[in-house]
Amino acid sequence: MAVKLSCFILFFMLIESNVFAYQYQVGNLQAWNLPTSTDPKVYTNWPKKLTFKIGDSLLFLYPPSQDSVIQVTKESYNTCNIKNPILYMDDGNSLFNITSPGVFYFTSGVSGHCEKSQKLQISVYASDGSLPEPPAYGPSGALADTAPSYPTVFGGIPTGPSPSSSSSLNIKTSVYVAVVIGVLVCGLVGDMI
Ligand SMILES: *[C@@H]1O[C@H](CO)[C@@H](O)[C@H](O)[C@H]1NC(C)=O
């Protein structure tokens, strides 16, 4: 009984400490595009409620014929310079994987969209709570090479691209799956001892 109990406690601590990777659908929107008049500050407000961490990803959805996503430097972000981006994605189902702490700047690759506030800035804090300066990007923009590996304690819960679901749904599903696994594992451990 004590074994089962400590197993449960350990499991809920793991859930609390956020070991699971989440896929966030940018703006909870079906289309990454110019902000609409009903929600002109969508890209400013959306990240405020969220805590991004290494291992999470950002999903930008949009009709590929109409838009694109670029990751740019802070300076380019502020001045809406869309030339020479760090990363360019235009497949309509663009997944940006967070592999290091820091501040990440995104905007649209379509001329004029940045000026109309289609821009997104997210902060990813290191585990010690610091927010490192942006790394010096090499000519290839190889961000992933220097990234710390994501600790997978029980293995990641797969979060494949799911265009129809929002990020909150993914979070709930992950926690639900975690609880089921926890109950099964803890039950087994308790019976074996
Ligand atoms: C992020 O990871 C997914 C799945 O591994 C991959 O398909 C995608 O290309 C990655 N995104 C970038 C920008 O490398």
Query: For the chain, what are the domain ranges?
Result: 1-21+165-193, 22-149
Is the confidence at residue 164, as pLDDT, over 50? no
Q: How far is the CA of 147 from the centre of ligand 1 (A)?
A: 14
Phi, psi of 159 (to 5 degrees): -125, 80
pLDDT recorded at residue 11: 65
pLDDT recorded at residue 8: 67
Q: What percent of the chain has pLDDT over 70?
A: 66
Tell me the CATH number for domain 22-149.
2.60.40.420
pLDDT in tens, 24-38: 999 999 999 999 999
pLDDT recorded at residue 118: 98
pLDDT recorded at residue 148: 45
Q: How far is the CA of 97 from the centre of ligand 1 (A)?
A: 6
- Which is the closest atom of ligand 1 to the Cα of 95? 11
First to last CA, the chain: 10
pLDDT recorded at residue 150: 45
- Tell whether ligand 1 has an atom less than 6 A from the beta carbon of residue 181: no
pLDDT recorded at residue 147: 44
Is the confidence at residue 128, as pLDDT, over 80? yes
3-state SS of the chain is CHHHHHHHHHHHHHHHCCCCCCEEEHHHCCCCCCCCCCCCCHHHHHHHHCCECCCCEEEEECCCCCCCEEEECHHHHHHCCCCCCCEEECCCEEEEECCCCEEEEEECCCCCCCCCCCEEEEEECCCCCCCCCCCCCCCCCCCHHHCCCCCCCCCCCCCCCCCCCCHHHHHHHHHHHHHHHHHHHHHHHHHHC
Average pLDDT over residues 125-148: 63
Range with the lowest mean pLDDT among 3-12, 63-72, 164-173? 164-173
pLDDT recorded at residue 138: 46
Rounded-to-integer distance, Cα 178 and Cα 153, Å? 12
Tokens 């310079």, residue located: 81
Average pLDDT over residues 83-105: 97
This prediction has a pTM of: 0.68
Q: Whose CA is nearest to atom 7 of ligand 1?
A: 95
- Tell whether ligand 1 has an atom less than 6 A from the beta carbon of residue 104: no
The dihedral built from the CA positions of residue 166, 24, 21 and 159, taken in this order, carries a sign that is positive
4: confidence class by pLDDT, cuts 50, 70, 90: confident
